[in-house]
Structure formats: C-alpha cells, structure tokens
Amino acid sequence: MLVRLEKLTCEISDLNSKLILLVGPSRSGKTQLLRKLGAKFNIEPFNVGLELGRRLAATPNNKRGFSAGELLREIADKERTEDPLLLDNLELLFEPGLQINPLDLVRRLAHSKRVVAVWPGELRGDRLVYADMSHPEHRDYSRDGAVVFEI
C-alpha cells in the first residue's frame, strides 16, 4: 500500500489539482500510512489541529475563518516546493464557527504543490462525507479535484 501511495504521490505532479486524500474507516491506519510516506520523503506530516489550533487561539473569533486559510498557506509556503505537503488531523477545519469549506481550502493548497491529506470522514459513493447529517459539523462534498486513495 505504501509503494502504491508513494508512486501516486510522485505521478500526481502533472495534474492540475495535486491533492490525494487518504480515505478509510476510523482506525484503518491512515495516519500511520501518512507517517510512513513522510519517512520515505524525509518530511514530517503536519498536524493541522495542533498547529492551527495553537495559532488561531490568539485570533479574534470573527477573523478565524480568514486566518485559517492564511495560516495554512503560510505553512505550505514554508515547505520546500518539491516536497509534498502531508496533512493530518483536519477536524479543526470543520469547526462551524470558522465558516470555511475545508475541502476547498486543501484543494487550493494543492494547485501549487502536491498535498496528501488524511480525510477525517468517509467516502459514500462518489461523495466525501464528514460527520452525520444531524451533526452541526456535517459536510458533504463531491470528490472532484481530488484523487481518493482508499484504505
């Protein structure tokens, strides 16, 4: 599985959107696979919840949505452009108070560089779903603009 993901990560450079989403049930090894990929490329996966949470804590509530996108871009720009950006723990981006589209934010990062991200929800048919419909953080997106790597 790691070999397939590594090959896909190298091949995706030529696509318009260079986004790979690791999708699978909870506890299926997505984070572990991302870490192994990071070891292959000699880069550390980025814990979005931890890093972004720390930075957003000092940001006024009404500016957090805009700041989340800016901070993620800053982080992506710090990485060497030839290296893929490895993202884990995206749950914070689904916070309703941020009023952002998490998938769109990650897709935009993937226009300029390869991004491999652990999707915190599931794939239902051709839809990427986060949380149950009754949950305030529920989201449902088309998988367009992303390569889904199922685990």
Average pLDDT of the residues in 114-136:
95
Q: Residue 17 pLDDT more than 90? A: no
- Residue-range definition of the domain harbouring residue 125: 2-150
Kindly give the interhelix angle for 64-78 and 102-112, rounded to the nearest 10 degrees: 30
Which is more confident, 82 or 88? 88
Task: Please report, for the domain that includes residue 135, its CATH number.
Answer: 3.40.50
Number of domains composing the chain: 1
This prediction has a pTM of: 0.94
Q: Are 83 and 46 in contact (CB under 8 A)?
A: no
- Residues 6 or more apart in contact with residue 68 via CB below 8 angstroms: 52, 56, 92, 93, 98, 100, 105
